[in-house]
């Protein structure tokens, strides 16, 4: 497969940055939209009058500083460049702007390049890149709020089954089994942990996320995903306990580790699975 030209690489990277900018909007606003919706439903169930609130969605209002609410000019809102230009601060009140914004944009752009390098400019690559972006959004939302919204996890699951149907129909049965096994594996662990300790070890969103990864990769990848995600979670958790006393006893979201394991499996899963099998055979 011939390598794309430098111009193609540049266009793909810039497109990835722009999609990362939109992803930041989703990451920041979707949890607020969900909370407002749940609050509205609760008030309706209690037969309370609706609370007046300004329109708030992914398009309205425009980008603004979270502190002084000054609108962000278009040239300060350019992906990655705007943050660097203002040195990570609001142009009006000089409040520090979270590093989340440039990091998400940069990761989105780099993921676009990785998918292009590994799988070329194909329809399959577009599906895989879309899955990577959804995993990125879920990872950051879960890290910030400990939520894995159904509005992203369920479409990710159905997109995985559609991917198999369109490009790998021979894998469709493995994908369906993978979705069921992914959900039931963490669902079983959740109830076993709760029966033993009386505590909840994870949320239902984790079940759906692993089910989605099972749909994309098939049931055979589930042990590998769990090994990677649990291993990363254990390492990060131990480091947090040792070096960040304020986080001791705080719940650690599992979604980011599942998402990271999902990226690895989606992008280099076949090579990693071969290595994993060899390790299991010779150990």
Tell me, yes or no, whether 86 and 146 share the same domain: no
**How far apart are alpha carbons 64 and 182 in whole angstroms?**
40
Tell me, yes or no, whether 264 and 131 share the same domain: yes
Q: Per-residue confidence of the chain (283 residues) as pLDDT tens digits?
A: 556 688 889 999 999 999 999 999 999 999 999 998 888 888 888 888 877 778 888 888 888 877 777 788 777 777 888 888 877 887 778 888 889 999 999 999 999 999 999 988 899 999 999 999 999 999 999 999 999 999 999 999 999 999 999 999 999 999 999 999 999 999 999 999 889 888 887 889 999 999 999 999 999 999 989 999 999 988 988 887 777 777 666 778 999 999 999 999 999 877 877 776 777 676 6
Mark which of 95, 121, 147 sits at the end of a domain: 121
Tell me, yes or no, whether 64 and 88 share the same domain: yes
**How far apart are alpha carbons 140 and 105 in whole angstroms?**
12
Domain of residue 168 covers 122-283
For 75, phi and psi rounded to 5 degrees? -75, -20
Asked if 56 contacts 36 with a C-beta cutoff of 8 angstroms, the reply is yes
How far is Cα of residue 165 from the mean position of the Cα atoms in its chain? 23
Tell me, yes or no, whether 162 and 92 share the same domain: no
Tell me, yes or no, whether 131 and 89 share the same domain: no
**How far apart are alpha carbons 56 and 156 in whole angstroms?**
24
Tell me, yes or no, whether 228 and 258 share the same domain: yes
Tell me, yes or no, whether 154 and 191 share the same domain: yes
Q: What is the pTM of this model?
A: 0.91
Closest CA to 232 of 251, 260, 262, 213: 260
Mark which of 121, 148, 176 sits at the end of a domain: 121
Name residue, tokens 């409040």.
95
Six-digit token string for 180: 């069921």
Tell me, yes or no, whether 106 and 139 share the same domain: no
**How far apart are alpha carbons 200 and 192 in whole angstroms?**
10
Name residue, tokens 């660097």.
84
Closest CA to 151 of 228, 205, 217: 205
Tell me, yes or no, whether 58 and 35 share the same domain: yes
Name the β-bridge partners of 89: 96
Tell me, yes or no, whether 180 and 213 share the same domain: yes
**How far apart are alpha carbons 93 and 101 in whole angstroms?**
18
Split into its structural domains, the chain has a count of 2
Mark which of 121, 152, 170 sits at the end of a domain: 121
Grouping H, G, I as helix, E, B as strand and the rest as coil, residue 64 is strand
Asked if 153 contacts 183 with a C-beta cutoff of 8 angstroms, the reply is no
Asked if 65 contacts 92 with a C-beta cutoff of 8 angstroms, the reply is yes
**How far apart are alpha carbons 77 and 98 in whole angstroms?**
14
Residues in the chain, how many? 283
> What letter does residue 5 receive in the DSSP assignment?
P
Asked if 241 contacts 248 with a C-beta cutoff of 8 angstroms, the reply is yes
Tell me, yes or no, whether 175 and 268 share the same domain: yes
Tell me, yes or no, whether 135 and 196 share the same domain: yes
């Amino acid at each position: 497969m011939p390598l794309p030209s430098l111009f193609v690489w540049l266009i793909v990277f810039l497109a990835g940055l722009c999609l990362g900018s939109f992803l930041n909007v989703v990451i920041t606003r979707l949890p607020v939209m969900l909370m407002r919706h749940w609050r509205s439903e609760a008030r309706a169930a209690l037969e309370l009058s609706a609370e007046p609130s300004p329109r708030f969605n992914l398009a309205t209002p425009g980008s603004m500083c979270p502190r002084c609410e000054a609108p962000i000019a278009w040239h300060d809102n350019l992906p990655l460049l705007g943050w660097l230009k203002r040195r990570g601060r609001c142009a009006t009140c000089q409040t520090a702007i979270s590093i989340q914004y440039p990091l998400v944009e940069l990761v989105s752009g780099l993921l676009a390049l990785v998918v292009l390098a590994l799988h070329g400019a194909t329809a399959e690559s577009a599906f895989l890149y879309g899955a990577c972006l959804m995993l990125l959004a879920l990872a950051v939302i879960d890290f910030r709020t400990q939520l894995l919204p159904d509005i992203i996890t369920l479409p990710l699951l159905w997109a995985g089954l559609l991917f198999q149907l369109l490009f790998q129909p021979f894998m469709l049965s493995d994908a369906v089994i993978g979705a069921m096994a992914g959900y039931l594996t963490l669902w079983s662990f959740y109830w076993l942990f709760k029966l033993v300790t009386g505590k909840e070890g994870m949320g239902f969103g984790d079940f759906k996320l692993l089910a989605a990864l099972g749909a994309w990769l098939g049931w055979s990848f589930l042990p590998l995903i769990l090994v990677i995600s649990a291993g990363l979670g254990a390492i990060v958790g131990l480091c947090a306990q040792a070096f960040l006393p304020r986080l001791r006893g705080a719940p650690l979201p599992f979604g980011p580790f599942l998402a990271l394991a999902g990226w690895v499996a989606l992008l280099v899963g076949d090579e990693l699975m071969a290595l994993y099998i060899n390790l299991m055979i010779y150990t």
